[in-house]
């Protein structure tokens, strides 16, 4: 499956994306698309033969719970609507709590790393198989950027990804910006990770910008792609010719000419890093034809059997291509729980242990409970602030009236609210809860702003949207009080 050079489609830059030359494909955030119709811009791109890949952010396949059937159905519907050759998600957990821990459900609002342990791998693999059986096209999973690392990890990132691919057959979406982020923040060597992971399983590659603050790299997707990230891309290209490479930008969108310049830099990096003897297709040139009709393995048919009677390579023997000088965890020692010929369901105790660990961490990050043992407390504070800032930014996008009503006081008020109110639903629910919190606390001080916030909350907090007459009355009342 050849994709070529692409860019992340976002509504804010839809016109710019359509006007860019040499774009073979785009990626759209699945949760931002309706399941039954597409934005006009994506319709036009598809009519031109541009492939569109849905990129999910909310499944939480690394979480202790099994994937939510409704979320899987929504992702499947978007894949079919787009005629996509594959769908992608993340190796992360995004929520915790609930029945497994008999505690309130908590939402992170962002991607958090799973521990690289055999227990977490078992849970992830079963969740991936469930997702694969529910999706009409192949699934690829992305490595994420991290500010924190789990204590007691048993595998390196490359080893973890290799095991995941071997057990499930899932493909990989390798984000070279995230490899750079983990190099700066966690001291992990991108070259070693690339040496250890199965590069032949790569479906495509992400490239994105970030910024370093106080020795911590923040994967913002709001800054230009830096030279160190392009160097990691070159490392990857020296090992394999990826089927696709995509530029991500999620905020602080530049003019189209700057996006074109970043795409040119990506193309130039790929050309320079290509081994001289590599006679493969030139992926830096625009594709002459859209991807073929063959989408890869048919995920709509029942899976024949998850690993066959042949359990595959002997995991107790040294790997044929061993890691470099630092071998990481001892792979030659017998594993605590090697996968059987038919893995069957993950034992309840494994999911329970994963649930307790993830809930303790997320509670510390979003609810201020004590930090679990073994974590770097300073980094947990950095991660906690990053999650709260992310919440504030997303709520401002889904409910732009709130920063307009509250003015310069919006961000400080939201961060104060987020410090004591973990997110338990989606961002729209979070916006309503925040507005209610401000009103109960007697804010905002300006009476006109308070009336506007009150009407905004009333219009959206009922079980049903207000009828047209009610909306007209409230609009007229808002005009009378000076909006």
Span 70-108, pLDDT tens digits = 999 999 999 999 999 999 999 999 999 999 999 999 999
Query: Residue holding tokens 């392009």?
Result: 230
CA distance 365 to 108: 8
Span 291-304, pLDDT tens digits = 444 444 444 444 44
Cβ–Cβ contacts within 10 Å for residue 403, how many? 18
3-state secondary structure (DSSP) of residue 198:
coil
Span 32-76, pLDDT tens digits = 999 999 999 999 999 999 999 999 999 999 999 999 999 999 999
Cβ–Cβ contacts within 10 Å for residue 229, how many? 27
CA distance 330 to 98: 35
Asked whether the predicted pLDDT for residue 357 surpasses 60, the reply is: yes
CA distance 390 to 112: 13
Is 75 in contact with 86 (CB distance < 8 Å)? no
Quote the tokens at residue 72: 């899987």
Mean pLDDT of 366-394: 95
Kindly state the helix (H) or strand (E) to which residue 192 belongs, with its residue range. Answer: helix 190-196
Quote the tokens at residue 94: 């995004």
Give strand ranges (E) for 321-402.
none
Asked whether the predicted pLDDT for residue 250 surpasses 90, the reply is: yes
Cβ–Cβ contacts within 10 Å for residue 138, how many? 22
CA distance 157 to 143: 9
pLDDT confidence of residue 469: 60
3-state secondary structure (DSSP) of residue 4:
strand
| DSSP string over 18-57 | HH-TT--EEEEEGGGS-SS---HHHHHHHHTT-EEEEE-S
3-state secondary structure (DSSP) of residue 109:
strand
Picking from 272, 274, 373, 282, the residue whose alpha carbon sits closest to that of residue 5 is: 282
pLDDT confidence of residue 314: 44
């Amino acid at each position: 499956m050849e994709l070529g050079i692409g860019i992340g489609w976002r509504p804010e830059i839809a016109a710019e994306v359509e006007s860019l030359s040499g774009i073979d494909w785009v990626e759209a955030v699945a949760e931002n698309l309706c399941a039954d119709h597409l934005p006009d811009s994506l319709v036009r791109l598809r009519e031109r033969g541009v492939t569109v890949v849905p990129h999910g952010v909310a499944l939480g396949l690394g979480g202790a719970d099994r994937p939510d059937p409704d979320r899987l159905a929504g992702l499947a519907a978007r894949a079919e609507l787009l005629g996509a050759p594959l769908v992608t998600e993340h190796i992360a957990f995004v929520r915790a709590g609930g029945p497994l821990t008999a505690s309130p459900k908590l939402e992170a609002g962002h991607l958090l790393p799973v521990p690289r342990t055999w227990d977490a791998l078992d849970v992830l693999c079963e969740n991936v198989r469930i997702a694969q059986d529910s999706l009409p096209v192949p699934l690829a999973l992305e490595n994420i950027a991290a500010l924190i690392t789990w204590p007691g990890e048993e595998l390196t990132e490359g080893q973890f990804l290799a095991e995941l691919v071997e057990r499930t057959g899932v493909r990989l979406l390798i984000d070279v910006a995230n490899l750079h982020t983990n190099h700066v923040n966690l001291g992990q060597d991108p070259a070693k990770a690339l040496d250890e992971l199965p590069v032949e399983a790569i479906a495509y590659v992400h490239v994105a910008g970030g910024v370093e603050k106080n020795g911590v790299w923040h994967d913002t997707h709001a800054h230009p792609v830096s030279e160190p990230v392009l160097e990691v891309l070159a490392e990857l290209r020296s090992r394999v010719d990826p089927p696709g490479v995509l530029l991500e930008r999620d905020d602080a969108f530049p003019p189209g000419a700057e996006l074109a310049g970043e795409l040119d830099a990506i193309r130039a990096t790929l050309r320079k890093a290509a081994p001289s003897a590599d006679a493969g297709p030139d992926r830096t040139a625009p594709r002459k034809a859209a991807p073929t009709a063959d989408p890869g393995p048919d995920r709509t048919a029942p899976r024949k059997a998850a690993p066959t009677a042949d359990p595959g390579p002997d995991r107790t023997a040294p790997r044929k291509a061993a890691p470099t000088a630092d071998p990481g965890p001892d792979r030659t020692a017998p594993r605590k729980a090697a996968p059987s010929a038919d893995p069957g369901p993950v034992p309840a105790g494994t999911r329970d242990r994963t649930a307790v660990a993830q809930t303790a961490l997320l509670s510390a990050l979003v609810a201020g409970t004590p930090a679990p043992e073994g974590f770097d407390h300073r980094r947990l504070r950095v991660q906690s602030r990053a999650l709260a800032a992310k919440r504030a930014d997303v709520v401002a996008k889904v409910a732009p009236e709130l920063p307009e009503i509250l003015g310069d006081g919006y961000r400080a008020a939201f961060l104060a609210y987020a410090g004591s109110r973990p997110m338990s639903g989606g961002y729209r629910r979070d916006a309503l809860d925040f507005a209610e919190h401000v009103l109960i606390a007697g804010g905002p001080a300006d009476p006109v702003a308070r009336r506007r916030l009150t009407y905004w909350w009333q219009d959206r907090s009922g079980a049903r949207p207000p009828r047209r007459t009610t909306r007209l009355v409230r609009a007229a009342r808002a005009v009378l009080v000076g909006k």
